[in-house]
Structure 1
Amino acid sequence: MADFSFLDNDFKLLKNEGLSHKKNPLETEQGAKIRMGGREVIQLSSNNYLGLTAHPHVKKAAIDGVKKYGAGTGSVRTIAGTFTIHEELEQKLAAFKKTESAIVFQSGFTANQAILSSVLTEKDVILTDELNHASIIDGIRLSKAERKIYHHVDMNSLETALKQSMKYRNRLIVTDGVFSMDGNIAPLPEIVTLAEKYDALVMVDDAHASGVLGENGRGTVNHYGLDGKVHIQIGTLSKAIGVLGGYAAGSRSLIDYLACHGRPYLFSTSHPPAVTMACSAAIDVLLSEPERIEKLRRNARYFKNGLQSAGFDTGKSETPITPVMTGKEQLAFELSNKLLEYGVLAKGIAYPTVAKGEARVRTIVTADHSEKDLNDALAAFSKAGKELQII
Structure 2
Amino acid sequence: MTDAFSKCRPPRELEIILASGLYPYHRPIEERLDDGEVVVGGRRVLMAGSNDYLALSTDARLKAAGVDAVRRLGSGNSGSRILNGTLTLHRTLEGELADFLGHETAMVVSTGFQANLALSPLFGRHDVLLADRHIHASLIEATRLGQAQLRRYRHNDTSHLGRLLEEVDPAAGRLILTEGMFSVTGDLCDLPGIAELARRHGARVILDSAHDVGLLGAGGRGAAEHHARQPAVDVQTLTFSKCFGTLGGAVAGPRQVIDYLRHSARAALFSASLPPSCTAAALAALDIIRTEPERRRRVLAAARRLRSGLAAIGFPLTPADTPTVPLQVGDALLCCRFWSELFDEGVMANAMLPPSVPSGKALIRLSVTAAHTDAHVDRLLEAVAVVADRLNVINRWGSEGREPSDALADPLAAASVTTPVT
TM surpasses 0.5: yes
2:132 aligns with: 129
2:152 counterpart of 1:149: yes
Q: Where do residues 71-150 of structure 1 align in structure 2 (5 Å cutoff)? A: 71-115=75-119, 117-150=120-153
Which one of 359, 362, 385 corresponds to residue 359 of structure 1?
A: 362
2:353 aligns with: 350
1:216 to partner: Cα distance: 3.0
Distance in 2, Cα, partners of 1:156 & 1:227: 22
1:8 to partner: Cα distance: 5.7
Distance in 1, Cα, partners of 2:23 & 2:38: 23
1:9 to partner: Cα distance: 4.9
Q: Deviations over 1:335-375 (max 9, x none)?
A: 11111001000121121100112111100100100111111
Q: Deviations over 1:227-265 (max 9, x none)?
A: 222101111111111101111111111111111111122
1:38 aligns with: 42
Question: What TM-score do you get using the length of structure 2 for normalisation?
Answer: 0.89
1:6 to partner: Cα distance: 1.6
2:163 aligns with: 160
Equivalent residue letter for 2:235: I
**1:332 to 1:168, Cα distance in 2 relative to 1, 3 A:** farther
1:320 to partner: Cα distance: 0.7
Distance in 2, Cα, partners of 1:237 & 1:152: 25
**SS in structure 1 opposite 2:176?**
strand
1:317 to partner: Cα distance: 3.9
1:272 to partner: Cα distance: 1.0
| Contact 1:177-1:204 at 8 Å conserved across structures | yes
1:74 to partner: Cα distance: 2.1
Equivalent residue letter for 1:196: R
2:385 counterpart of 1:382: yes
Structure 1 window deviating more from structure 2 (173-182 vs 6-15): it is 6-15
Distance in 1, Cα, partners of 2:25 & 2:316: 25
Equivalent residue letter for 1:163: E
Distance in 2, Cα, partners of 1:235 & 1:225: 18
2:310 counterpart of 1:312: no
Q: Where do residues 207-222 of structure 1 align in structure 2 (5 Å cutoff)? A: 207-222=210-225
| Contact 1:185-1:318 at 8 Å conserved across structures | no
1:329 aligns with: 332
1:314 to partner: Cα distance: 2.5
**SS in structure 2 opposite 1:325?**
strand
**1:65 to 1:196, Cα distance in 2 relative to 1, 3 A:** same
Distance in 2, Cα, partners of 1:113 & 1:230: 18
Number of positions where the alignment pairs a residue of Structure 1 with one of Structure 2: 390
Equivalent residue letter for 2:278: V
**1:171 to 1:30, Cα distance in 2 relative to 1, 3 A:** farther
Equivalent residue letter for 2:39: R
| Contact 1:106-1:264 at 8 Å conserved across structures | no
Gaps of 5+ in 1: none
Distance in 2, Cα, partners of 1:158 & 1:94: 29
| Contact 2:24-2:351 at 8 Å conserved across structures | no
Structure 1 window deviating more from structure 2 (15-24 vs 146-155): it is 15-24
Distance in 1, Cα, partners of 2:179 & 2:70: 34
Distance in 2, Cα, partners of 1:353 & 1:74: 33
| Contact 2:241-2:247 at 8 Å conserved across structures | yes
1:2 to partner: Cα distance: 7.9
Distance in 2, Cα, partners of 1:240 & 1:15: 35
**SS in structure 2 opposite 1:228?**
helix
Distance in 1, Cα, partners of 2:165 & 2:280: 42
2:280 aligns with: 277
**SS in structure 2 opposite 1:372?**
helix
Q: Deviations over 1:35-92 (max 9, x none)?
A: 1000100000111101000111111000010111111112111111111111000001
1:11 to partner: Cα distance: 4.6
**1:229 to 1:5, Cα distance in 2 relative to 1, 3 A:** closer
Q: Deviations over 1:266-302 (max 9, x none)?
A: 1111111111101111001111211001001100000
Equivalent residue letter for 1:203: I
| Contact 1:61-1:274 at 8 Å conserved across structures | yes
Q: Deviations over 1:294-330 (max 9, x none)?
A: 0011000001101111112223443111011112222
**SS in structure 2 opposite 1:173?**
strand
2:72 counterpart of 1:47: no
**1:336 to 1:317, Cα distance in 2 relative to 1, 3 A:** farther
2:409 aligns with: none
1:16 aligns with: 16
Q: Where do residues 148-227 of structure 1 align in structure 2 (5 Å cutoff)? A: 148-227=151-230
Structure 1 window deviating more from structure 2 (366-375 vs 159-168): it is 159-168
Distance in 1, Cα, partners of 2:9 & 2:291: 53
1:149 to partner: Cα distance: 0.8
Distance in 1, Cα, partners of 2:78 & 2:129: 36
**SS in structure 2 opposite 1:65?**
helix
**SS in structure 1 opposite 2:393?**
coil
**1:43 to 1:21, Cα distance in 2 relative to 1, 3 A:** closer
1:389 to partner: Cα distance: 0.8
> RMSD of aligned C-alpha atoms?
1.7
Question: What TM-score do you get using the length of structure 1 for normalisation?
Answer: 0.96
| Contact 2:237-2:252 at 8 Å conserved across structures | yes
Equivalent residue letter for 2:131: T
| Contact 1:125-1:168 at 8 Å conserved across structures | no
Q: Where do residues 222-261 of structure 1 align in structure 2 (5 Å cutoff)? A: 222-261=225-264
